[in-house]
Structure 1
Amino acid sequence: MIKSNPFNSTTFLSFWSKHFLGDKKASTFNFAKNLSFYESKIPGLHINAGKNLTKGVHYEFDPKSGKEEKGKTFLIYDVIDFATPKENIKNSPLGLYSVKQYPGFLIELGDYNSLDDYMSKTFKKSSRYKLRKYKKRLEESFHISFKAHCGEMSKEEYDAIFDSFRNLLEKRFGEKQISNNNLDPEEWNFYKDVAYPMILEKKAILFVLYNNNEPISVTLGYLSDNRVFDAITVFDIDYAKFHLGSIKIMNLIDWCTKNDWDILDFSKGYFDYKTRWSNKKFDFHYHIVYDKSSFKSRVLAYTLKSLFALKQYLREKKLNETLHRFTYALKNKKKESLDYQFLEVDDRHTQKELAPIDFNLSEHSSLKGICYEFLYLHQEHLENLNVFMMDETDKTFLLVGQNKKIGVKLNV
């Protein structure tokens, strides 16, 4: 059982209702006392408040339904904790379909007292070496800090982080060339509105990895009594060589073990990193509850069950990924991948006057990830890096660090 589920909290549900229900009102029903429902556009169908924007709900099925449920059908998204005996449902006037939809992944941390303890018992020595190398290289090349924002936080700081959060998401999914529902204006505005008051209430948290004062990885999490839900996460793709995704997870585990959080929940959906880091897999289900005595309710419930079963089949065949790429392509121009190569240079290339380049400017933004790769490969620090134009026509540049200099040619 999820204690103090943040997605059942008054703050989360009130902001969700404000953004998505308009004038509609949510109501409670006897069969699921800790959930509230709103009437959908389909007559007779009621959907749980929060819908698919929660990261997991739980409820206990009460077989003693009343007249309020008569003739109605209920759809409950993302059920992850349901231990009601089958006999309770069998003897109820309400029927239940449970349709598996998404895999879920989490780390149970109760048996580990530190990040090192978890890694030593989870990864081989060679893997631990690589992971620690990524973190060490990052800290050798930049001024890195990590902060968990929970409780007191100024609105100005919050807004600045959330603006960076969105920019990083747009950059990340632009590179992948797939659409991301979190960036839909209606959905993003909800997340931005609800997270701040929940942070002040210590029911949400922003984990931020900084280079100086610039966020380079941001994770929005929600908090129950013992569980951290990793809701939305992103890292700056310019730092890809440093494996920021792995470093971010290491920071989360370290924070959880130091602050006595037993579960780090990666939430729904399959990604390779989740299988590498998690030690428990579970499933998200959609529940369809219906009135057994109502023909209309039975037909609607069976139709919904069949629809969601079909969606899951298509998802398992990875057709949803094709759809996300297609919808992205409809809205955006195709982005050409950057092709480049490093070139060995000698003193002849640096005897003439070369024009300095600021790769932070938008016209040179393609150089940023290349420069950071140079820092990683040669263990240089950003403060010691200088970039020069060697040949504008040929698109060649010179990267000069404290101990290494190398040429770069963009193949455009």
Structure 2
Amino acid sequence: MLNNLEPHTRFSFFLDLFFKDKTFPWFYNKITNNYLKTVVYKTTDTPDKTYNIETCIVYDIPNYLDIKTTIQETNLKEISFPLYNGYAVYFGDHNTCDAFLNDQVGKSRTNKLRRHQNRLDLSIAPTYTMYYGAIEEIEYKRLFKELKRITALRFTQKEEHNFELPYLNYYEEIMFKMIFEKKASIYVIYDKDKPINITLNFIDGQTMLHFNSCFDVDYSMYNLGHLNTIKHLRWCYDNGIKLFDMGRGDFFHKRQWINKTYLYQEHIIYNSKSIIATLKAKKTIVFHKLRFRMVALLKKMKFHLAYGKYIKFKYRLSNKKDAQNNSTYIITNGVAIPKDKKIVKINYLDKEYSNLLFYVNDFLHKNFEKNSAISVYKDTKLASIYYIKGEKNTQKISIKSS
């Protein structure tokens, strides 16, 4: 419980309060999850109330959480307003995950995703690990280091500036302990010992908060995002999770899975006897309500699509020099592999050959090849020439610098 608050405070509901052992302000009395009809937080402690609060702002509160406070016993008042939409999967009365998938996604789409899964299993035979209850510290640190790297690459691919990095540093600070307490988990898809998809989750009772997920862009042809979601849904069923909260962000891939849409809200608690605090609170709510309505109107007018193109154009301008230094890869299929004296076998998963990884995976994916049955060679005389030899096909990769 947070006593003796400063006159003006601002908290992220999850990052500053919920994930810190549910250390809420003293006036929070009870929180109920309206989807699950379960009590998330309740205190019978008598707070050491101090009434020097002018404004206390708590933002990013899902409105399916019903928060009861004790401010009616004070001079404080509360106002709330919407920020943006959030998206969730509520399993309801479905007895199995397959029953949910058939109802929500449809049999045709489910069968298509099963084919994607079979292709992935054929090509690289990945392993899947949910770190929940235990994890080696050295692997924990390695996973976050890799998550930061692949997130940076993903933002580069999307031609957007990376806003996730500060949050990843914060998650790294808090999640190690929470995994052992079963309040958090990290789900990883591995290609051998290489993490190719990493997901950060927080868990509270029957709710999983799906907070951050990223795949290695060199494996983008395998539909890892969708397959990762299915793995999570099945894990939720097996472990008694009823609500899979996918958070904010109105993306097409989410729309295929979710069956609940809610609102994130901001709550302002203010001193009703302070003219300045009251005016500040009223001004803030008017601004945010107008903003919310304006954003909804602009989305209806498809303005967000034009804005997305502008963001990409702006990104390209600021990274023009890097784009000019890109190399060109020329792919030739069905070539004869040179004799042994002219080539040397390499491990394409080594860091020095990371530029080849996308093309090797693309070869595996398109030709239904297994990574255990292919060989990758480097030309001993021409450093920019590589060869892939599979059971069904061969390929030559020629790299030309721009």
TM-score normalised per structure 2 = 0.77
Q: Deviations over 1:238-259 (max 9, x none)?
A: 1110000011111101111111
Letter in structure 2 aligned against 1:259: N
Q: Distance in 2 between matches of 1:90 and 1:370?
A: 63
Q: Distance in 1 between matches of 2:147 and 2:15?
A: 21
Q: Does 1:45 align with 2:34?
A: no
Shift of the 122–164 alpha-carbon distance from structure 1 to 2, 3 Å rule, reads same
Q: Distance in 1 between matches of 2:18 and 2:318?
A: 29
Shift of the 338–173 alpha-carbon distance from structure 1 to 2, 3 Å rule, reads farther
Q: Counterpart in 1 of 2:262?
A: 282
Q: Does 1:97 align with 2:79?
A: yes
Q: Does 1:210 align with 2:190?
A: yes
Q: Does 1:370 align with 2:359?
A: yes
Q: Distance in 1 between matches of 2:111 and 2:245?
A: 25
CA contact (8 A) 1:343 1:406 kept: yes
Q: Distance in 2 between matches of 1:268 and 1:150?
A: 24
Q: Distance in 2 between matches of 1:361 and 1:211?
A: 13
Q: Counterpart in 1 of 2:224?
A: 244
Shift of the 295–253 alpha-carbon distance from structure 1 to 2, 3 Å rule, reads same
Letter in structure 1 aligned against 2:208: V
| Cα shift at 1:335 | 4.0
TM-score normalised per structure 1 = 0.75
CA contact (8 A) 2:12 2:60 kept: no
Q: Distance in 2 between matches of 1:90 and 1:328?
A: 53
Q: Distance in 1 between matches of 2:381 and 2:90?
A: 54
Shift of the 320–289 alpha-carbon distance from structure 1 to 2, 3 Å rule, reads farther
CA contact (8 A) 1:112 1:257 kept: no
| Cα shift at 1:278 | 0.9
User: Which of 149, 152, 161 is the aligned partner of 1:167?
Assistant: 149
Worse-matched range after superposition: 112-121 or 328-337: 328-337
Q: Distance in 1 between matches of 2:312 and 2:290?
A: 17
1:297-336 map, 5 Å: 297-309=277-289, 312=292, 313=294, 317-318=303-304, 334-335=322-323
| Cα shift at 1:324 | 8.9
| Cα shift at 1:72 | 1.3
CA contact (8 A) 2:272 2:278 kept: yes
Q: Counterpart in 2 of 1:77?
A: 59
CA contact (8 A) 2:13 2:61 kept: no
SS in structure 2 opposite 1:277? coil
Q: Counterpart in 2 of 1:150?
A: 132
CA contact (8 A) 2:96 2:237 kept: yes
User: Which of 116, 138, 142 is the aligned partner of 1:134?
Assistant: 116
Structural RMSD (CA):
3.9
Letter in structure 2 aligned against 1:280: K
Worse-matched range after superposition: 113-122 or 220-229: 113-122
User: Which of 358, 370, 373 is the aligned partner of 1:381?
Assistant: 370
* Structure 2 gaps, min length 5: 32-46
Q: Distance in 1 between matches of 2:79 and 2:310?
A: 29
| Cα shift at 1:340 | 4.7
Worse-matched range after superposition: 196-205 or 106-115: 106-115
Q: Distance in 1 between matches of 2:319 and 2:72?
A: 48
SS in structure 1 opposite 2:164? helix
Shift of the 181–325 alpha-carbon distance from structure 1 to 2, 3 Å rule, reads farther
Q: Deviations over 1:121-155 (max 9, x none)?
A: 22233312221111111111113111111113232
1:327-366 map, 5 Å: 334-335=322-323, 340=329, 342-347=331-336, 350=338, 354-356=342-344, 358-362=347-351, 364-366=353-355
Q: Counterpart in 1 of 2:210?
A: 230
| Cα shift at 1:377 | 1.1
Q: Distance in 2 between matches of 1:385 and 1:392?
A: 22
| Cα shift at 1:173 | 1.7
Q: Counterpart in 1 of 2:36?
A: none
Q: Distance in 1 between matches of 2:314 and 2:287?
A: 22
Q: Distance in 2 between matches of 1:267 and 1:252?
A: 15
Shift of the 395–223 alpha-carbon distance from structure 1 to 2, 3 Å rule, reads same
Q: Distance in 1 between matches of 2:193 and 2:351?
A: 19
CA contact (8 A) 1:396 1:410 kept: yes
